[in-house]
Amino acid sequence: MESMIRVENLTKTFQVKGETVEALKGVSLEIEKGDIYGIIGMSGAGKSTLVRCLNFLEKPTEGTVWIEDKDLSALNDAGLRKMRTEIAMIFQHFNLLMQRNVLDNICFPLEITGHKKKEARERAKELLEIVDLKDKANAYPAQLSGGQKQRVAIARALAMNPKILLCDEATSALDPTTTKSILALLKDINKKYGITIVIITHEMRVVQEICSHVAIIEKGELAENGTVEEVFARPKSKAAKKLVFQGEQKVSRMDSKRCIRIVFTENSSFEPVIANMVLECKASVNILMADTKDIGGIARGEMVLQLPEDEDTARKMMEYLKERNLTVEELEDYVG
């Protein structure tokens, strides 16, 4: 696949009250053209600084960003302004102009880049069709719901036909149902127009719903990256485990310390595999957690099981599960 964004050894430091704060520490990653890529981390992890470095609104202290074949650090101010017309951005709080109606909000970026008013209004009307707000052209932001405001913000971001759409916590202010509809819209835009989308979020469910690949940022560093399915099935870093299955939560008052996490594949979803394993091994297990998540439109089940203390029985159970193509991972310190 062709690379759209390449981040190389990105470091960003700030001076705060005479002290140096490292917001990013040597981050490197690659985002393919036409991908929906998630960047996830807890508050203060550095993900918002990273997204602002992708269009050089924040210039890195070290390292650089490549957009297709262009090194942003080598561009002058005019070159950066031109490049930024290809990199649109939407935000958590929409950033709409309250004194302008919906149509004029969408026209705004076209006006400031010199497009004729008639041409801008025609383009804005096309975009209102795309975001399903044709009947709201003359409404003002104060008259819109949160989801409608974000749709206007998406339409405005698309006005200049960008190659890249950066979404900085774009669904954090929305309820779950509205979030789902906005993510569906972004997915549709990606599919129809081939725009590369980068989602910045602290919510794993957002990444699981829409993204193909994910990078996990912790304390300014890249903790882990890969396909969403790989990271969900086999999280390696402490940060990934915390986001995927809350690996730091401990269950108290359990006798056996032996716990495993299993992830069900499509083929194993229809077999009563846990019941069959208990019958085969003639020993019971304790289900500490069970959940189903939507990973790229496919249901993926997961469980955390407490196994018997007997070593041979526990090993036999794990072998049984692996033979049926389930992902099996031993958890340390899950039971406290």
- What's the pLDDT tens digit per position in 189-241? 999 999 999 999 988 888 988 999 999 999 999 999 999 988 887 888 888 88
- C-alpha to C-alpha distance for 25 and 241, rounded to whole angstroms: 21
- C-alpha to C-alpha distance for 130 and 134, rounded to whole angstroms: 9
- What's the pLDDT tens digit per position in 298-312? 667 788 888 888 888
Residue 252: what pLDDT?
43
DSSP helix/strand/coil, 269: coil
Residue 285: what pLDDT?
86
251 pLDDT band, cuts 50/70/90, is: very low
Q: Quickly list H helices, 159-211.
A: 176-193, 204-210
pLDDT of 253 above 50: no
254 compared with 164, residue with greater pLDDT: 164
Residue 282, Ramachandran bin (φ over 0: left; ψ between -120 and 50: alpha; else beta): left
Residue 254: what pLDDT?
45
Residue 224: what pLDDT?
92
Q: Which two tokens mark 86? A: 């290809």
Q: Which of 253-257, 290-294, 329-333 has the lowest mean pLDDT?
A: 253-257
- What's the pLDDT tens digit per position in 123-152? 999 999 999 999 999 999 999 999 999 999
pTM of the model: 0.76
Residue 248: what pLDDT?
46
- C-alpha to C-alpha distance for 112 and 58, rounded to whole angstroms: 22
Residue 164: what pLDDT?
96
Q: Give Cα 195 distance to the centre of its chain.
A: 16
List C-alpha distances in Å: 315 to 3, 301, 311, 328, 329: 43, 22, 6, 11, 12
- The full set of domains in the chain, from first to last, is 3-242 (3.40.50.300), 249-331 (3.30.70.260)
In b/e form, how buried is each residue of 47-80, taking b as 16+ CB within 10 angstroms?
Answer: bbbbbbbbbbebebeebbbbbeeeebeeeeeeeb
Stretch 112-121: mean pLDDT, rounded?
87
pLDDT of 4 above 60: yes
